[in-house]
Structure 1
Amino acid sequence: MRFTTSRRPSPRTRRLARTLARFLGADYMTRGKSGLDDDGVWMVVVEGDGSPTGIARRSRGEEEVFRFTLSCEGGSKRLKMTRPVVVGAGNSARDLAEFFDLDHAAEAAAGRAIRVCDGFVDFVDGGDLILRLNI
């Protein structure tokens, strides 16, 4: 899985794409004028009116989009290199785990986790809030 942005992203969109890539242990590529190759999975952070509005998952000619608004960005810190787990009950947590190709757990896990609640998704590392997305 590799993260990138649209061709002319805002600084906030670039920062979000880099943060998500680091959080998920994925590579980040500055897009510029280059296109996306057909190898592997691309996660493209898309924007509207200068703000990030979603992530498009592109793989083998297919595209799936996860829409959100950015609610909160935590402070920058060096993230641990552990694979996160999606935590939460219900279909939205399972769908998000499938979207990012991660494991799903019904109850909170220690360490790095993506917590899915009603109306928002928290990206948490060791109890520190990294990102909050309103869905």
Structure 2
Amino acid sequence: MILTTSRKPGRKTRRLAKVLARFMGWRYVQRGKLSLDELSEFSDFAIVQEIKGNPAILRVFRRGREVLYLRFNAGEVEKVKMEPGPVVFVGKPPFDPLVLGAIPHTKAGMKFAQKIDARKKVYVRRTGKTIVLDFTYGEKTIMRLKCYESGIQFRN
């Protein structure tokens, strides 16, 4: 999958996009003047957009159709050298992790994750109407995204 940003991203947005792409095993592409039509030539792509200079929206497209809209507040974002490997979601996110190319928290998914000893994990916690996604590599938290349930739209 390809990950890009809005047309003129700020430093925080570029940093979050690069860390997210590296974590998920995606390819980060500088957008420049590419339009959505030109981006849709790639079958699967995602865009990180910003509000008031801060990264705030992740939109995931499959075959030119938006399948996930995620409005978030970004917390700490750290650059860490990571080995390539699959990402495992631990917990119940309000969307299908397969859309992001990750292993879901199902019985089969957890069994597979134990066999391959996945180091990249996304812990999903719910606190009231807030959903917290903790992206961890090994024991270290790389990034934290806080979302409200009303800011998540998943279309299958």
**TM-score when normalising by structure 1:** 0.87
Deviates more, 1:34-43 or 1:5-14: 34-43
Structure 1 segment 21-36 matched on structure 2, within 5 A: 21-35=21-35, 36=39
CA contact (8 A) 2:57 2:72 kept: yes
The residue matched to 2:135 in structure 1 has which SS?
A: strand
Q: Give runs of aligned pairs for residues 11-90 of structure 1, distance below 5 A.
A: 11-35=11-35, 36-63=39-66, 64-74=68-78, 76-88=79-91, 90=92
SS for the counterpart of 1:103 is coil
For the aligned residues, what is the CA RMSD?
1.9
Unaligned ranges ≥5, structure 1? none
Aligned residue in 1 for 2:153: none
- Among 112, 115, 131, the alignment partner of 2:120 is 112
Query: Could you tell me which residue of structure 1 aligns to residue 150 of structure 2?
Result: none
For the pair shown, which has the larger CA radius of gyration, 1 or 2? 2
How many residue pairs get aligned? The number is 131
From the superposition, tell whether residues 102 and 4 of structure 1 become closer, same or farther in structure 2 (CA, over 3 Å): same
Supply the distance in 2 between the matched residues of 1:102 and 1:84 (Cα, whole angstroms).
5
- Could you tell me the TM-score, scaled by structure 2's length? 0.76
Unaligned runs of 5+ in 2: 148-156
